[in-house]
């Protein structure tokens, strides 16, 4: 099956810093999504980005499908950005396969 | 985005009893729904794929007789944990995609199950 690797596993930042999270996947996919899991466990959809670049406020993401990786950029980080960020990939109609996540801690 | 509602958000049950978790797609129809389990500080692991009107497909190592899945309509799938034991305590999350082959998946709020 598809393997999904996220890096780094843990990231500690000061408020205001920028960060880049990476997701590598082992096979071609037509779905890639980034999520933020809040302290209550809910998965917040950040981006649906099987290819290309998208931006939403301080967050942006880029997926290079031909090279099988995606990057999530967080700029001017805030304490509310803390939590676990997951990358998940899959084919149309099938379940998403999740990476192990990056745990982000932003301190003031 | 589309809304997937999961109920209950949390439940505590006694060992040996059964618990039913509901997953509803509120504003779209989903022929396929997915059930995941997440243990503390771990990632989401796929348990089963729920198909409307047919039997669910379970991942290797998941007991189909313990985790009963029913997908009776295009907007509702249920997961029943039968004869629950403390090791079944976990966070269960459902996911759904809209009909028509749309690829983006939407997730419910999750259910935290504690078996005492």
With CA atoms as reference, report the closest residue to B95 among A30, A28, A40, A97: A97
Which percentage of chain B shows pLDDT scores above 70? 96
Distances (CA, A) of A62 to A20, A67, B33, B98: 11, 12, 27, 24
d(CA B18, CA B88): 11
Q: What domains can you pick out in chain A, each with its CATH number?
A: 4-107 (2.60.40.10)
Higher pLDDT, B102 or B60: B60
Q: Please classify residue A66 by burial: count the beta carbons closer than 10 Å to its beta carbon, then call 0-12 exposed, 13-18 middle and 19+ buried.
A: exposed
Distance in Å, alpha carbon of B106 to nearest chain A alpha carbon:
8
Task: Tell me the per-residue pLDDT of A46-60, one tens digit each, with 9 for 90 and over.
Answer: 999 999 999 999 999
Q: What is the pLDDT of residues A5-37, one digit of tens each?
A: 999 999 999 999 999 999 999 999 889 999 999
Length of chain B in residues, anyone?
116
Predicted local distance difference test score (pLDDT) of residue A26: 96
pLDDT for position A40: 87
Distance CA B90, CA B109 (A): 14
Distance CA B20, CA B22 (A): 7
Residue corresponding to tokens 């078996």: B115
Report which of residues A55 and B52 the model is more confident about: A55
Give the one of A40, A42, A96 whose C-beta lies nearest to B105's C-beta: A96
For residue A33, list its beta bridge partners: A48, A88
* Span B38-67, average pLDDT: 94
Mean pLDDT of A62-87: 97
Residues A82-103 have pLDDT tens digits of 999 999 999 877 899 999 999 9
Share of chain B above pLDDT 90, in %: 76
Confidence of residue B100 (pLDDT cuts 50, 70, 90): low
In the 3-class helix/strand/coil scheme, how is chain A assigned residue by residue? CCCEEEECCEEEEECCCCEEEEEEECCCCCEEEEEEECCCCCEEEEEECCCEEEEECCEEEEEEHHHCEEEEEECCCCHHHCEEEEEEEECCCCCCEECCCEEEEEEC
A33's tokens: 């999504």
pLDDT of residue B72: 82
**Is residue B102 over pLDDT 70?**
no
Question: What 3-state DSSP class applies to B87?
Answer: helix
Chain A residues with CB-CB distance to B36 below 8 A = 98
Q: What is the pLDDT of residue B16?
A: 97
Q: Number of A to B CB contacts under 8 A, please give it.
A: 58
**Chain A residues with CB-CB distance to B105 below 8 A:** 31, 33, 88, 90, 95-96
A30 touches chain B (CB under 8 A): yes
For the segment B3-32, the average pLDDT, to the nearest whole number, is 94
Which three-class secondary structure state does DSSP give residue B30? coil
Identity of the residue in B43, B103, B105 whose CB atom sits nearest the CB atom of A99: B43
Evaluate if residue B98 carries a pLDDT over 70. Answer: yes
What pLDDT score was predicted for residue A94? 86
Give the pLDDT confidence score for residue B101 in this predicted structure: 57
Contact residues for B65 (Cβ-Cβ < 8 A; gap 6+): B82
pLDDT of residue A44: 93
How many residues does the structure list for chain A? 108
Contacts of A97 in chain B (CB under 8 A): 46
């Amino acid at each position: 099956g598809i393997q999904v690797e996220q890096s780094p596993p843990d990231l500690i930042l000061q408020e205001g810093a920028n960060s880049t999270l990476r997701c590598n996947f082992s096979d071609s996919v037509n779905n890639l999504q980034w999520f933020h899991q809040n302290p209550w466990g809910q998965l917040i959809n950040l981006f649906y980005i099987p290819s290309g670049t998208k931006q939403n406020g301080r967050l942006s993401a880029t997926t290079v499908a031909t090279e099988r990786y995606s990057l999530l950029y967080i700029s001017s980080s805030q304490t509310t950005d803390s939590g676990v960020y997951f990358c998940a990939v899959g084919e149309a109609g099938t379940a998403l396969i999740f990476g192990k996540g990056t745990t982000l801690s932003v301190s003031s | 985005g589309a809304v997937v509602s999961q109920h209950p958000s949390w439940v505590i049950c006694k060992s040996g009893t059964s618990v039913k978790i509901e997953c509803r797609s509120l504003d779209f129809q989903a022929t396929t729904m997915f059930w995941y389990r997440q243990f503390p500080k771990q990632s989401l692991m796929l348990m089963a794929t729920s198909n409307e009107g047919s039997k669910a497909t379970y991942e290797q190592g998941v007991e189909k007789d313990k985790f009963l899945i029913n997908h009776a309509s295009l907007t509702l799938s249920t997961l029943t944990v039968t004869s629950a034991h403390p090791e079944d305590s976990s966070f269960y999350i459902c996911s759904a995609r809209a009909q028509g082959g749309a690829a983006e998946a939407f997730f419910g709020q999750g259910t935290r199950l504690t078996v005492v």
